[in-house]
Structure 1
Amino acid sequence: MTTLRFDTAEDTTRDESMAPIIAASTIGSAIEWLDFFYYGFLSMTVFPAVFFPGFNSYVGVIASFTTNFVGFVARPLGSVFFGRFGDRVGRKPTLATTLLLIGIATMLIGVLPGYKTIGILAPLLLALLRFLQGVGVGGEWGGSVLLTMEFGNPQRRGFLTSWPQTGAFVGLGLSVASLLLFKNLYPGEAFQSVGWRMPFLLSTMLLLVGLYIRLRIPETTAFLRVQERQRSQSIVRQIWRGYWREILLSALVRSGEQAPFYIFTTFMLSYGVATLHWEAALLYRGLILASLVACVTIPITGALSDRFGRRQVTIYGALLMCAWAFPYFLFFNTGNPVLIMLAIAFSLGGCHACLYGPQAALIAERFPTQFRYTGATLGYQLASIIAGGPAPIIATYLLGRVQPFNANYPVWVLIALYVIVMALISLLAALYLKDYTGRAAVEDPA
């Protein structure tokens, strides 16, 4: 029978000593997501021309989004591989390895020749490197979250684990800022030939900073306590056999966060520039504003989940996402810069943050320490296949192939309905998840 308990005072890092742990988790997460997001932005603009020339603009974007999707397919595979590694060897070495993997793959993308130079090999190698990026990202999240969770005060679990989530938006903001910077430094054709490569190459320096920080942190006490009694049986088999329901529900509860996020970021840039002819710089500034807002609201919603319950905050977030789907497009389609930036900022810094802030603790605390890295990461990353990865492809398909079925109901209505459906899936999944707020996380089976 599964038992529950709180860590003792001796096992829990004091609040004042959590700053280095939070910094290691957040900064490392920001660096990895910076590289991952930057690729996603280029998949709509530069990559169709560099790696998929000869296609019309619509097919080129679909092909580029499909290559982008390879990174999402790789994330669950990375969660299985690095989850097992993290549960066997430790959180610290796993975090260092994932950072190295994604950093090397990112650097190689920066020097990869285009289609005109090496032909079909160019998109194939691009897909391979995106796959390796996805594997690294798939293993990174669990380690970042578990550092703050297993070192921190159990009563503040939602707040502490929200910081690695915040790191994703730091990475988003930095990726957009770097895109704007190098577009200005390399205007016109220069950006398409050389400029887009520079952030990939310069991220190597950030990689070294993140690696230095992560190598200086200790291993978590919770892992050291169970390391000596790790069994030889497959961790993946054990976690799936004992916690398959929690894994599936964890993936489903992310649907209303994952799908809208990549519609509000990757797809909407393509939609805004190519279809509505808004200036890309306006949309980029909106994403930077949204990232700044989210860096404040994500820790706040994480803290609210400690007070009111993670399941409750998640349900409210899903309802807010449903309510905002249609106003988002109405604001975005006006062409008014203020309303466009408001739509972007509230969608990510409000609706999405309400789901994203408590999510790390909501998922991680339902798995025992012995299998926590594997179980939490697998549940978390499966959503990249069922929600995050397909979302921009589905939205682009609807936009390009489905004709308006009524003059008063343009095709964006279908995309808004898609957002609502995904949010309702999150709501239903949350209703079936046990809430561990104010209680001990699931402990290791005897």
Structure 2
Amino acid sequence: MVDAALPIESGAPQLAGAVPSADRRQIVWSSVIGTTVEWYDFLIYGTASALVFNKLFFPSFDPLVGTVAAFGSYAVGFLARPLGGIIFGHFGDRLGRKAMLSLTIIIMGLGTFLIGCLPTYAQAGLLAPVMLVALRLVQGIGIGGEWGGAVLMVVETVPAERRGLFGSIVQLGYPLGVITSTGAFALTGLMPEADFLAWGWRLPFLGSLPLIVVGLFIRLRLHETPSFRRIKSRDAVARLPVLEILTAHPRTFATAVGLKLSEIAYVSVVTVFGIAYVTGQLGLPRSVILNGILVAAIIELFTLPAFGWLSDRYGRRSLFVAACLFSIAFAFPLFWLLGSRDPLVISLTVAVAVSFGQGIMFGTGAAWMSELFDARLRYSGASLGFQVGAALSGGFTPLICAALLGGSGGATWPISVYLVVLASVTLAAALIAPETARRPID
């Protein structure tokens, strides 16, 4: 782990700065394009869970129970993400970052494409949801290995004083994935409802196939990172990196998990559970919430790099603390504003919640989570911390929120309390974690 005694100003550009600027630009934008493809594949499932799967794959239940079942299948993908982090983290720390990224985009893309080919419950009975859950597992394994490798390709290549900025640029793949996945469903949603449920919902999934080809072509052209090449040249490759992290660095691992909990819960509440809440509980057209999500994603294209840049200047911790305090303060007003039923108010509410409840931590967390671990353990440590946090919070959050809403007779205050608790846990993790901005990481 990074030496916590070093002051924030002590870092100097590290050996990664020797990489030619043209090569760095190629690595950064190649990572952005690749992560956009991966997030598109992963996120369209969340949108479909709220709009389609509860009707076509779990139709024998009443609407609320069907939604809970659909969100349960959504959670499976998050539960599989730590497995992907373990598998690809292990080989990424032993064989290199580049090879793992090529595999993850194939796994994710094929899983997504095959979902678009599935028969529905009416056509295949129980086999349909079983196959849906199996392919969601495949998606989860793919994204579990994707994030760590994509971030490390950049963080281990750029100068120390710019890791926050360039790490946040890689995170642009998420809002770009939101824009493309939500946009795809917004366009197919313009179809007549009967056509949309009959075959239109499949188009966003089938569209993953050409994206696989583009993303794979880009990733095969990348070079291995300087950090991994140095580890390889010193014959210092970890034999069992995950085991070493859990036994020798449990506090660092637990801190990384805690840093993820609030951010992923907030965005899951707003962009996944929020779709079902606004369309089902409030009875509004799906375009109202989808438009809000699109606006929020477009805003994040500008705010994510801004937060990453600010973290380079003022430190990772200060940005995280500010985000946690916002998340606590906005947990109750979030649902009060959604309950206004005003499309403009809903769009602005979603934009604010995503930008500050998720965007600050998401933009800053790429560099911080990577910097917590030594280079020889970094792929496994960053991936596992990120993905376990995502599984515990993001995977269960839509399911928990649906259950809380049903159990409280439609009241949203239990969901707000849930968000406050998770933000408090992340705040504690941020205060415990060492400040790593601008410090050498090798």
TM-score normalised to structure 2 length: 0.95
Query: In structure 2, how many angstroms separate the alpha carbons of the residues matched to 1:336 and 1:52?
Result: 31
Q: Of 148, 155, 160, which aligns to 2:166?
A: 160
Q: Of 72, 76, 91, which aligns to 1:70?
A: 76
Does the 8 Å CA contact 2:121/2:128 hold for their aligned counterparts? yes
In 2 relative to 1, CA 339–171 (structure 1 residues): closer, same or farther, beyond 3 Å? same
Matched, 1:222 2:227: yes
Listed as ranges, the gaps of 5+ residues in structure 1 are: 405-410
Query: In structure 2, how many angstroms separate the alpha carbons of the residues matched to 1:157 and 1:37?
Result: 26
Matched, 1:39 2:45: yes
Which has the higher mean CA deviation after the structures are superposed, 99-108 or 44-53? 44-53
TM-score normalised to structure 1 length: 0.94
Does the 8 Å CA contact 2:16/2:226 hold for their aligned counterparts? no
Q: Of 171, 191, 195, which aligns to 1:190?
A: 195
Show the counterpart of 1:407. Answer: none
Q: What do the CA deviations read for 1:162-204 (whole angstroms, capped 9, x no partner)?
A: 11212111101111100011122x3211111111111111111
Query: In structure 1, how many angstroms separate the alpha carbons of the residues matched to 2:62 and 2:267?
Result: 27
Show the counterpart of 2:316. Answer: 310
Does the 8 Å CA contact 2:319/2:360 hold for their aligned counterparts? yes
SS of the equivalent of 1:151 reads coil
Which has the higher mean CA deviation after the structures are superposed, 227-236 or 105-114? 227-236
Deviation at 1:11, TM superposition (A): 5.4
Deviation at 1:62, TM superposition (A): 0.8
Matched, 1:200 2:205: yes
RMSD: 1.7
Alignment of 1:174-323 (within 5 A): 174-184=180-190, 186-228=191-233, 229-231=235-237, 233-323=239-329
Q: Percent identity, please.
A: 36
Does the 8 Å CA contact 1:13/1:153 hold for their aligned counterparts? no
Matched, 1:340 2:340: no
Query: In structure 2, how many angstroms separate the alpha carbons of the residues matched to 1:298 and 1:417?
Result: 27
Query: In structure 1, how many angstroms separate the alpha carbons of the residues matched to 2:164 and 2:371?
Result: 10
Does the 8 Å CA contact 1:297/1:350 hold for their aligned counterparts? no
Does the 8 Å CA contact 1:253/1:426 hold for their aligned counterparts? yes
* Off by >6 Å, runs of 4+ in structure 1: 1-5
Q: What do the CA deviations read for 1:210-262 (whole angstroms, capped 9, x no partner)?
A: 11111111111111111241457322212222222111111111111011110
Query: In structure 1, how many angstroms separate the alpha carbons of the residues matched to 2:137 and 2:153?
Result: 25
Q: What do the CA deviations read for 1:25-65 (whole angstroms, capped 9, x no partner)?
A: 11111111111111111112211221112111111111111
Deviation at 1:12, TM superposition (A): 3.5
Show the counterpart of 2:154. Answer: 148
Does the 8 Å CA contact 1:15/1:153 hold for their aligned counterparts? no
Does the 8 Å CA contact 2:81/2:142 hold for their aligned counterparts? yes
Show the counterpart of 1:105. Answer: 111
Query: In structure 1, how many angstroms separate the alpha carbons of the residues matched to 2:224 and 2:298?
Result: 31
Query: In structure 1, how many angstroms separate the alpha carbons of the residues matched to 2:431 and 2:84?
Result: 28
Does the 8 Å CA contact 2:14/2:160 hold for their aligned counterparts? no
For residue 127 of structure 2, what is the amino acid of its counterpart?
Answer: L
Deviation at 1:6, TM superposition (A): 5.8
Show the counterpart of 1:439. Answer: 439
